[in-house]
């Protein structure tokens, strides 16, 4: 089976010369739920931002068989939904409906299709009835759900999350993890939340100093105390 994500020899340096990624190669099959873990500055977010063309490094990336390049960028950004750590980076309209509808409208969909997409996305995150609410008046957990809905309205096959449980209280965190368990898409999640990793992602990849240092079953990796310690995870 062709992988849904294939990264080959990806390297990236910031404009100041700092090497953020070094020869990253990673294959992801459809339906997998994978955690990216590692210390601050390991390259987790930088890797995620390559998957829909925010950053462009040296190497090859294929998503659903499409090579990531300028010609395919529009299709790639519909195929891969990126949910930022801070939902305020994703919500900018005066109503939830406008935020969730933005992607389908931008793609030129007719009003009936836009309406259907918004309703389906809000239902998927258990936020029916919030369409006319102002996003800025919502709780942190509610904002996270709406941010996910803005991506789901594009019907992506891959969802990429940067620290999804960051800043949430225990109840909102638990509810978000339960939501992520329900989603059928392939998930790639950058996080420091190892408790969530144990619950949610059968496979874990450790990054450190821009390189993959471990990739395997989550339970095996989380049992390896030395591996976790030397990579800043204990």
CA-based angle 72:76:81, to the nearest 5? 165
Angle, alpha carbons 119-66-158 (nearest 5°): 35
Residue 1 pLDDT:
77
Of the candidates 139, 140, 136, the one whose C-alpha atom is nearest the C-alpha of residue 99 is: 136
Say what percent of the chain tops pLDDT 90: 96
Residue 187 phi, psi (nearest 5): -120, 135
In which domain, by residue range, is 37 found? Answer: 5-87+156-230
Q: Answer yes or no: is 40 within a domain.
A: yes
Asked whether residue 180 carries a pLDDT value surpassing 90, the answer given is yes
Domain-located, residue 172: yes
Question: What mean pLDDT is reported for the chain?
Answer: 95
Distance CA 109, CA 127 (A): 22
Residue 200 contacts residue 33 (beta carbons within 8 Å) = yes
Q: Phi/psi at 46 (nearest 5 deg)? A: -60, -40
3 state DSSP class of 133: coil
Q: According to the model, what pLDDT value does residue 234 have?
A: 80
CATH of the domain at 177: 3.40.50.300
On whether residue 48 sits in a domain, the answer given is yes
pLDDT at residue number 29: 97
Whether the model clears a pTM of 0.75, i.e. scores above it, the answer is yes
Q: Return the pLDDT at 83.
A: 96
Helix (H) or strand (E) holding 19: strand 19-28
In a domain, 131, yes or no: no
- 134 within a domain of the structure (yes/no): no
- Residue 151 in domain: no
pLDDT over threshold 80, residue 194: yes
**Domain contains 178:** yes
Tell me if 71 is assigned to some domain.
yes
Q: How many domains is the chain partitioned into structurally?
A: 1
């Amino acid at each position: 089976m062709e992988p849904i994500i294939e990264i080959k020899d990806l390297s990236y340096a910031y404009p100041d010369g700092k090497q953020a990624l070094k020869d990253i190669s990673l294959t992801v099959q459809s339906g997998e739920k994978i955690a990216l873990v590692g210390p601050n500055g390991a390259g987790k977010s930088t890797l995620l931002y390559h998957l829909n063309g925010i950053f462009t490094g040296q190497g090859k990336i294929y998503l659903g068989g499409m090579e990531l390049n300028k010609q395919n960028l529009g299709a790639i950004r519909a195929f891969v939904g990126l949910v930022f750590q801070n939902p305020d980076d994703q919500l900018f309209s005066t109503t939830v409906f406008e935020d969730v509808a933005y992607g389908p409208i931008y793609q030129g969909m007719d009003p009936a299709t836009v309406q259907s997409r918004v309703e389906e996305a809000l239902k998927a995150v258990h936020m029916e009835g919030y369409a006319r609410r102002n996003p800025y008046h919502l709780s942190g957990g509610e904002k996270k759900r709406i941010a996910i809905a803005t991506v789901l309205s594009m019907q992506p096959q891959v969802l990429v999350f940067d620290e999804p449980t960051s800043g949430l209280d225990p109840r909102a965190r638990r509810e978000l993890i339960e939501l992520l368990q329900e989603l059928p898409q392939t998930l790639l999640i950058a996080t420091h939340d190892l408790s969530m990793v144990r619950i949610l992602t059968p496979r874990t990849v450790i990054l450190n100093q821009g390189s993959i240092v471990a990739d395997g079953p989550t339970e095996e990796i989380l049992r390896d105390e030395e591996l976790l310690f030397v990579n800043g995870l204990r």
